[in-house]
Amino acid sequence: MVRTVELRGARWDEFDLDKRVWLIPEERMKMRAPHLVPLSRQALEILDELRPITGACDLVFPGRSDRRKPISENTLLYALYRMGYHQRATTHGFRALASTILNESGLWRPDAIERQLAHKEQNAVRAAYHRSEYLEERVRMMQWWADFLDASEREAADDKAA
């Protein structure tokens, strides 16, 4: 649920795999505040698969021609196109999709969802006093989200096979 620019610039030293978190530093965040991302079991598995491929680089997703620079802005978008989503989806649209599904589930507080999206409180007075991270809820939420995606993928595969 991070922004594409934050994902593309992910660095191995930002991850604490033992604590199951990714700490994106403030200089890489749109709102210029550090952002802690709880990692699901599935996210950890993907990072384990990536480590032998890109672990010698600083970046988790290094560019093909210059390993010191991240993959291009279009790499993820073109991957979506190749999967058949041309003109049907964008990488940023997955943030809206996640927000919609998490809100519609009724399982999570809207404040926790907004915090996971790294959105700033719009009410200036509330923002001055409200600094909760909702971390315990966000840990559960991110695991639920990853499990939801896995279940959706299985359903789609079953439908295709039927």
| Residue 128: band (very low, low, confident or very high) from pLDDT cuts 50, 70, 90 | low
- Which residue among 8, 95, 115, 138 is the active-site one? 95
**CB 39 within 8 Å of CB 142:** yes
The predicted model scores a pTM of: 0.88
| 120 has pLDDT over 80 | no
- Which residue among 92, 126, 130, 154 is the active-site one? 92
- Which residue among 3, 8, 35, 138 is the active-site one? 3
Per-residue pLDDT at 82: 95
- Which residue among 68, 82, 129, 131 is the active-site one? 129
67 labelled catalytic: no
Kindly state the percentage of the chain with pLDDT values over 70: 93
- Show the tokens assigned to 161: 């096979």
Distances (CA, A) of 143 to 69, 85, 89, 138, 155: 30, 25, 23, 8, 18
**Mean of all residue pLDDT scores within the chain:** 92
**CB 15 within 8 Å of CB 62:** no
Domains belonging to the chain, first-starting first, are: 4-161 (1.10.443)
Q: Among 19-23, 84-88, 104-108, where is mean pLDDT lowest?
A: 84-88
Query: What digits encode the pLDDT tens for the residues 34-71?
Result: 999 999 999 999 999 999 999 999 999 999 999 999 99
The CA angle 39-64-75, to the nearest 5 degrees, is 60
Per-residue pLDDT at 162: 82
